[in-house]
Structure 1
Amino acid sequence: MHRKNRKFSRTKGKTKSPTIKTSKKTSLSNERKLFDKYKKDLGEDYLLNDIIELAYPKIQTTIDVLVSSKPSDVLKDLHIFLLDIIHTGLNKKSILCSFLGIEDDDFIIDELYLLIKEGLVDLDDENDYRLTTKGELFLENQKFIPETSNEEFVFYVDGLTKEITTEQVSKTFCQNKLTNLVNVNHEFIQENWFNINSIFSKVNKEEKEIIELSNYKRSIVRKPNVVYEKIYALIYYPKEEAGKKIQIKAYNKSLKLLKKTTNSLNEQFSKNPLLFDFSEEGQILNEFKDIIEKSRELNQSKDRLTGNYKDISTFEHKELISDALITATSKVYIESPWIRRATSNYIKAMEVFLNKENTKLYIAYGIDSSFRNKPHEETFEKIKKLQNRFPDKLKIYHLPTHFSSKFNDRSGTHRKILIKDNEFYIKGSFNWLSYAGEKGRNYAVEEGTQFFDNVEIFWSKIFKEYQLEF
């Protein structure tokens, strides 16, 4: 993995270029802001290892379109006026010209021809004008005839996500260029026609819309041009590497999170681990590298709990927690942000476990102390009844309350953990005590990883980190 590359002039004995100095200072400032603000954005399980400045591809595209737009108020009033006077009986060209005091080649007569073309006015056998039914309805509803014109529409296509925008690109000369994956051609334009038209209308405050490509074969006026925009990729490594993937988050030069770009970069990185290998493009910026390295040394986990593991799918969790409670012989730990009705599925299994000799069940819960996140009342009563029966064997920790007396900077938990004896522990996204995990219903993908080694170390790690008592 290579960090951001940027070339700087470092000639001995010479004054540095003000431009280079300013560019360097701004770049480092942005990176430091990103690092300080988001270094723990993915929690304690991840470490922000790299911040890379990228040249992100955007395809500047210009198409030639036929546009329909609202006419000026003067033109609209003129059309209504002409229809009105024909309707009142001024239905000959000579009479109209005399009444209006114009020549028969005046532009107003041209507009009369437009009314005929639009089917609002017709000519009878004696060349007298008369309103058609469409014209009468048009006059009654005070409508207008749209104007049409040929225009050029310029937009940008995201080179990875295919997203279309009209926002100006902040161009960069950074050499860390991501590969453009999108081909903007006639087929692309047609496939995205509805979206392009919608964006065009929004840009023009809904007063214009595209009728069609003016000339299909020449609709792309100029060959699409790939330009590059500056973005930052923040790359997080899992402290415990087994079973976890590297995560990437993307920000623009204003330090705004780019959600679609983030998703796309993670997808591309999973296919190509060398996506950010820019080693041949320039030298590493050592000053920022030092910041990253020092942070890594301070935050690196001393005990890397790796070893044998396997991935757990969404619907395997329910069986695993039930089995753990029924078959465990000494201790079980369950941590989850919420206690909901789904916990009722495990009350009987908890009772079976607590009835065994020398067993202990630890339940840690609570994302915060707010009322809306309190436990499901009826379900929590069942747990409390078990605690009353087994006061020395069932320990319940409301972590927001527990943390308030132990730490200054913790408000609750979003972890999802299950530990069975010294046999295994599971970490992931499955909400053990609030999600039923039943098949045949709409569900969120909540996967996890089951570890079989270093389980005793993990017990100690959790209880030491939370200052809990065995």
Structure 2
Amino acid sequence: MNNQIENEIKKFENQIRRRYLLPEAIVLDCKPIGYPFHVLNVDLTYLANRQLHLAEEFVMKCINHELNKHKEIALFLGMDENLIEKVVSELLSKNLITREDVLKLTELGLNSLEQQTVLAPMSETKTFYIDALNGKLSEKFYLNPFDSKNNNNSALNKIVKKPRKGHIEDIVEYYENIEKLLQNYNNSNRIELIQVNKIEKVYTQWHELLLVLYQRNSEDKEIEYEIFSRGNIQVEYRTTIEQLYAEGKKILDPIFQEIEQDKLSNDNLVERPILSPINNENIKTVEKLSAKIQSLDDPDFFIDSKNKSIKEERKKLKQELDQIKAQSKISEIIHTYEHRDYLFNTFKEAKQRIMIVSPWIKGYAVDQEFLGILEATLNRKIQVYMFYGIKGSSQQNDLKTIKKLEELSTQYKNFRFEKVKNTHRKILVCDNKFGIVTSFNFLSFRADPNLTYRDELGVIIRDSATIEDLFNSGINLTQDEI
């Protein structure tokens, strides 16, 4: 069984590598999730084997009743004369009518019109599926059923309201699609839906997909996801989920949280320290002491601490925190969604210099908002240093975005934009005010949950000497190229 799972993971990796040109992509985990569909058993009546379009039939009936000119037919049917001309041209090409002095039906046309008028309606029950996330109607499915009762936390919530049994008004908007799908059921030339008689049965069923988490390479700590079913990447499902996220409906978040608790350790998501005083133990200690100090301001704490001096406890913790901050140079801890705010505030508030180092560049991070703020900063004569580049990253970068940055570096002498040989660093320096060392990719991620799932952690340094060391470490990356 383990060998089977390993083989499946290898298949997932190979598909991700080919699709996104990521030769070193690594699958971390895969989890079954339930995708909801409303199943409809509908009784309906339709005509099959209709060889003629409705407009063709009406025009041929007019000709058969000696309305032989375009204007006469258009006037009788209340249709545009140009449209009648198009229908007539189509009938002529099919040899259903002739154009001599007047329009006449051919023998083939007479037979087709007779066949059209003797069709008997058919009534039967058909099964259709409504995608409960995007509302798309389909006539069949191949996915495995998902047990939503025993896996409630992994079943996606329904977005589209389920039609009610016996209420055909709930599916009126689907009539046109039902008629098209009936065409697939039958090998006839044409189907005409006469009416939907009733909804005999309706229920919701979850179908199994696989949520696959992966990294671009072994050094990259970003975790991204893809949707698989039947062994293949399912772009349509991924697109639907991303559109829902854009609308604020974060349907995968509960599943991501469950995976984070069960499978992923935040310890592994912190960037390897650039400066020796920064390490994971110091980060944990600062967070722990900060949380304790904040808890002293909680009114409930006073109930549990009747026999303790709040002031003494706070003073003791504050001294301990100041000591570890002084030793580690760590001033504050920041998490995923705070990074981009710090980046943009740096652009707005810097007085002298800014440095950004990040391995990759992507257009959805360095977007129009980013470029606009950057150019405004350059117009304020702020010196901006922006370095990127990691081994094997050429196919992972957005070349159009890089070209825009290169054009800005040509236009502004105070913008130094360079590709370095190989760095996995992510740093941000603002004057001598602060520096950030983090796992967050400033130039390839904008902390948008509908694009990817990840947890990022960074530290802020306010010690002036350490900030200068951080800045110089970035400059040294370019000197290594010489």
TM-score (norm 1): 0.49
Higher helix share: 2
Q: Please say which structure displays the higher CA radius of gyration.
A: 1
